[in-house]
Amino acid sequence: MSFSLLKRLRRNHYTQAIGRRSGKSSRLNQWFKWLSPGLFVKRWMVISAGGMILATLGLAIWTKMTPVFYLLRLTEAVLSSLAQLVPNTISGPLVVIGGILLILWGQSQTVNSISQVLRPPGDEELVDMLISHRRLHRGPKIVALGGGTGLSTLLRGLKLYSANITAIVTVADDGGSSGRLRRELGVQPPGDIRNCLAALGDEEKLLTELFQYRFKTGDGLAGHSFGNLFLTAMSEVTGDLEQAIAASSHVLAVRGQVLPATLEDVYLWADLEDGRRIEGESRIPEAKGKIVKIGCVPESPLALPAAISAIEEADYIIMGPGSLYTSVIPNLLVPEIVEAIAKKRVPRIYVCNIMTEPGETDGYTVSDHIRAIDRVVKRRIFDAVLVHKRPPSEAALIRYAKQRSHPVFLDREDVARLGYRMVMSNVMDEDAIAHKVRHDSHQLAKVLLRWYSRVRGL
C-alpha cells in the first residue's frame, strides 16, 4: 500500500516537473517571438538602449562629470579584480550578454504589462496576434466577385491568407428578406452583402451570429435577418449603401472590404430558348427553361468607383463559385467592371461550380459555364478555371439526381480550345449526414493561393 502511494507521489512529482519545464519553454518561445522579422520591435529595443546611454551621458555633462569620474574609478577597480579572477575573454562577453538580457527582460515586461490591458479575451498571445496581423497585411490584394453563398464560402477561406481582400457583390437579388426590403423600402438588397461581411468578420463569434440571426416569428419580422435590417437602417442613417457597409465593417472588424458592384437599382431578366422572357432574379431559376440571354434594367449600370479602384490595384482576381446566371454573371453586366478586369495583367481565375443548378445550368459542362461568361463580356477576361476533380459520394449523387442536379462534367478539349488553363484539385466539402455538397472554404483558398504563387513565381 505504501509502495503504491510512493509510486503515485513520484509520478505526480515527475508530471509537475515536466509541466513546469514545458511552461518555461513556452514562455521562452513567446518571448523570442518578439524578435521575429517584420514586427518592428528589435529596432525600438535598440533605440531604447541608445536613449538610456544618451540620458546617462547627458546627466554626466549636467553634473560636470564628477560622479562619472568616481563611477569610472569604481568600475575600473571592479573590472580589474574581475579580470584577475576570470579572463577578460570570458568575463567580457558574459557582462555584455548580461546587459543585453537585462534590456530585453525590461522591454518584455513592459510589453507584457501593456498586453494585459490591450489583449482581447482569449488564449492567443499579443505577439501571435501581431505576427498574424503583419502577415495578413502583407498578403496579395485580392478582388473576389460573385454573390450568394458561394462568394461568402470563398471569403471565409481567403481571409486566412490576406487582409487585403475586396469582395464585389451583386445587388440584383429580389427574393426572400432582401426582396421584401427592396420592395417595401426601396433599398438595395442587403442579403449577399450581409453574408460577405459575416464571412470576412474578425470579431467575436456571438456578434457574427447576431448579424446572421433570422427572425422566425413576429408580424412583419418573420423571415428577416438582423443583418439585413441593420444594413437597411444604416443606409437610411448614412445616406447610401456604401457608407452603411463601411460602418458595419467597423462593427464586425472585417478583414478587407465589401462593395456593391453598383449603387443603381438593378433588376435581372433572362430570355429562354422557348421564347419566354423572365424578369426578376428569383424567378429565373423557377422558370425551368434553358437560358439563351441574360441582361438587366437599367441596361448598363454605372459601377461603384471604389470597386473599379480595387480592381485596378488588384494583384489577383477571382470570380465564383456561385449560381452562374444569378450570382456570378450579374457583376459582369456592369460594363466598367468588365473593362477594368480586361485591362489587368494579373492572375485571373474562375471557380466553376461542382454541381449543375436546376433552372440555370441543367446539363452544363465546364466549357458551357465559360462560354456563358464569354458571351456576356464578348471577350476572354479570365486566364484559368478551377475545377473539382473527385465526384461526390453515391448517396450525394442520388440525392442531387432527385433534384435534377448532376456533377459538372469537365470537357478538357473544349476548355483547352477556349484558351483556358485548367486547375484541378479536390476542393469539395460533403456533409456526411445530409450529403449536401459545397466548396470547402479552407481547401479552396489554399489551392487558389498556391496557384497564384506558382503563376507569379513567388
Residue that the C-alpha cell 465559360 belongs to: 370
What pLDDT shows up at residue 279? 94
Give the chain's domains with CATH numbers. 131-169+301-457 (3.40.50.10680), 171-260 (no CATH)
Q: Give the C-alpha separation, 129 to 144, whole Å.
A: 25
Burial of 254 (C-beta count, 10 Å sphere; 0-12/13-18/19+): buried
What pLDDT shows up at residue 184? 80
Q: How many Cβ atoms sit within 10 Å of the Cβ of residue 364?
A: 21
What pLDDT shows up at residue 32? 59
Instruction: Show the DSSP H helices in 204-271 as ranges.
Output: 205-212, 226-238, 241-252
Record the cell numbers describing residue 287, joined without a space.
422558370
> DSSP per residue over 38-76, as a string?
TSS-HHHHHHHHHHHHHHHHHHHHHTTTHHHHHHHHHHH
What pLDDT shows up at residue 78? 75
Contact predicate 442/160, CB 8 Å = yes
What type of residue sits at position 201? G
DSSP state of 304: P
Q: Are strands 267-272 and 291-297 parallel, antiparallel or unpaired?
A: antiparallel
Q: Give the C-alpha separation, 394 to 435, whole Å.
A: 9
Please count the CA atoms within 13 angstroms of the CA of 112 that sit on its side-chain side.
10
Q: Digits of tens for pLDDT over the chain (458 positions)?
A: 444 544 454 555 545 544 544 554 555 565 555 566 655 566 666 777 777 777 777 777 676 666 666 777 777 777 677 767 777 677 677 777 877 887 777 766 666 666 665 555 555 566 666 667 677 888 999 999 999 899 999 999 999 999 999 999 999 988 888 888 888 887 888 889 999 998 998 765 777 788 888 888 877 788 888 988 989 888 888 888 889 899 888 888 888 999 999 999 999 999 999 999 999 999 999 998 999 999 999 999 999 999 999 999 999 999 989 999 999 999 999 999 999 999 999 999 999 999 999 999 999 999 999 999 999 999 899 999 999 999 999 999 999 999 999 999 999 999 999 999 999 999 999 998 999 999 999 999 999 999 999 998 75
Contact predicate 189/171, CB 8 Å = yes
DSSP state of 187: P
Contact predicate 178/202, CB 8 Å = no
What pLDDT shows up at residue 315? 97
What type of residue sits at position 422? M
Question: Kindly report the CA angle at 14 between 13 and 16, in degrees rounded to 5?
Answer: 65
User: 288, 4, 405, 328: which is closest to 146 by C-alpha?
Assistant: 328
Residues in the chain: 458
What pLDDT shows up at residue 133? 66
> DSSP per residue over 268-332, as a string?
EEEEETTS-EEESTTTTGGG---EEEEEEESSSPPPPHHHHHHHHT-SEEEE-SS-IIIIIHHHH
Q: For residue 121, what are the CA distances in angstroms to 29, 117, 148?
A: 21, 10, 32
DSSP state of 82: H
Residues with Cβ within 8 Å of 251's Cβ and at least 6 positions away in sequence, in order, are: 203, 207
Record the cell numbers describing residue 276, joined without a space.
419566354
Q: Give the C-alpha separation, 235 to 251, whole Å.
A: 15
User: 131, 108, 109: which is closest to 40 by C-alpha?
Assistant: 131
